[in-house]
Amino acid sequence: MSDHHHFPEELQIEILKSLPVKSLLRFTAVSKSWYFIITSPAFISAHRRHHRNGNSATNLLLLRRYDKSYNEEKYSVLNDTDHQLLTLNNSFELSLPISSLSGYFRTVGFYNGVVCLSDDHKVDCRNVTLWNPSIRKLRTLPRPSIRPAYPFRFVLGFGASPRSDDDLKVVRVVYARKGVHLDKCRIPPKVEIFSLSTGLWRRITATGLNYYMVYHVWTQVFINGAVHWIGYKLLENQGFQSLIVVFTMADELFDEILLPDELAPVNPSNLSIMVFEEFVAVVKYSRRIHGGSCELWIMKEYGVVDSWTRLHTIELVGRMEKIVGFRKNGEFLLSTNKSELVSYCPNTRVFNDLGIPGIKLSFYVDKYLESLVLLL
């Protein structure tokens, strides 16, 4: 029963880090030595890096949706195999152990195997939760310390500093209202950060953040060590300029990335930020609802404005409404106004109904990765 003690620890680590999370959780009960190896921060990081760089992770997609027939928020892991229709047939379900007061959570982001959830669709943001579905553990964050008089606007960002990639962080940007006007807010906003390592919210100075951000349909992406949101600044001629607001997790500083001339004058509510093949991407919609068209733009060289390129234009015919994700084979996944998920090939311009129901605003798609983060 204790033959593994005869192997050098370095060899044990090499073998263990290649195993799936489910096996490792069982092996923590085999011996004290394996328990201490598997639950050590160094091993958790090594295991995550090994599987992030492997091929298996890129073949799985995390799909979140709200199924009205069951009145239930569902999380599924799907096989993203080339040239095959994406279906629920070969998927497996993840069980979220908590329920939203709003019907379903906003999925802020998915990083290092952990989902960041915010319960803010219909109520004040009282609960932010970090959930690792592969080890069935979650962490509900303390109530944020910045709570101005209601109503107020806020956005969240989720990621980690490259200096300590397992120390997950949530940044919260809060805009208090200005005077009696409900649609006018003060800048700069107030900002606080939650770090998993401390378990506390910490306020920081929002130097350079003289922008507003889309507050009702906001999205964020974490890439290149920074959180990115769609934002805008007001111009002297009563107009506005849309842009990307950036927050670097390592330095905890705000910056901006300018959009091309074709996107800068677009209403920021008609823009959505995404990641497409490791590029920062922005989707421009001709209008927010009821069809029209959309354009996918990517920034080929990070931070270089001249590298923005319009990659595809999609006519949102029939039921298609919003891009929610991308497949490895280049297909787009879109929600429809009939509460369904469809796939679309930009080369053939053919779309397929996937038979996956869900409220259109509830769809969230990302690459799936298992990890041991939050194990302790």
Tell me the pLDDT of the chain averaged across its residues.
Answer: 88
Mean pLDDT computed over 72-86: 88
Q: Please compute Rg for the chain using Cα positions.
A: 21
Inform me whether the pLDDT recorded for 238 exceeds 80: no
Separation between Cα atoms, residue 275 and residue 291, nearest integer Å: 23
Separation between Cα atoms, residue 253 and residue 179, nearest integer Å: 28
The CA angle 105-108-110, to the nearest 5 degrees, is 110
Mean pLDDT comparison of 81-90, 173-182, 238-247, highest-scoring range = 238-247
Angle 9-16/41-52 helices, nearest 10 degrees? 50
User: Where is 253: in which H helix or E strand?
Assistant: strand 253-258
Per-residue pLDDT, 288: 59
Quick: pLDDT tens for 255-270.
999 999 999 999 999 9
- Higher-pLDDT residue of 58, 162: 162
Quick: pLDDT tens for 85-102.
888 888 899 999 998 887
| Domain spans of the chain, in order of start | 3-39
Confidence of residue 351 (pLDDT cuts 50, 70, 90): confident
- Higher-pLDDT residue of 36, 364: 364
Sign of the C-alpha dihedral computed for residues 321, 152, 121 and 212 taken in this order: positive
Q: Which two tokens stand for residue 158?
A: 């989720």
Q: Amino acid identity, residue 100? A: S
Residue 162 CA to chain centroid, in angstroms? 17
Quick: pLDDT tens for 38-54.
888 888 888 888 887 76
Residue 171 CA to chain centroid, in angstroms? 13
Mean pLDDT computed over 319-348: 91
Inform me whether the pLDDT recorded for 15 exceeds 70: yes
Place of tokens 């949101």: 229
Inform me whether the pLDDT recorded for 55 exceeds 80: no
Place of tokens 């080339």: 82
Inform me whether the pLDDT recorded for 181 exceeds 70: no
Q: Which of 51-65, 155-169, 332-346 has the lowest mean pLDDT?
A: 51-65
Confidence of residue 1 (pLDDT cuts 50, 70, 90): very low
Quick: pLDDT tens for 138-174.
999 999 988 877 778 889 999 998 888 779 999 999 9
Per-residue pLDDT, 356: 93
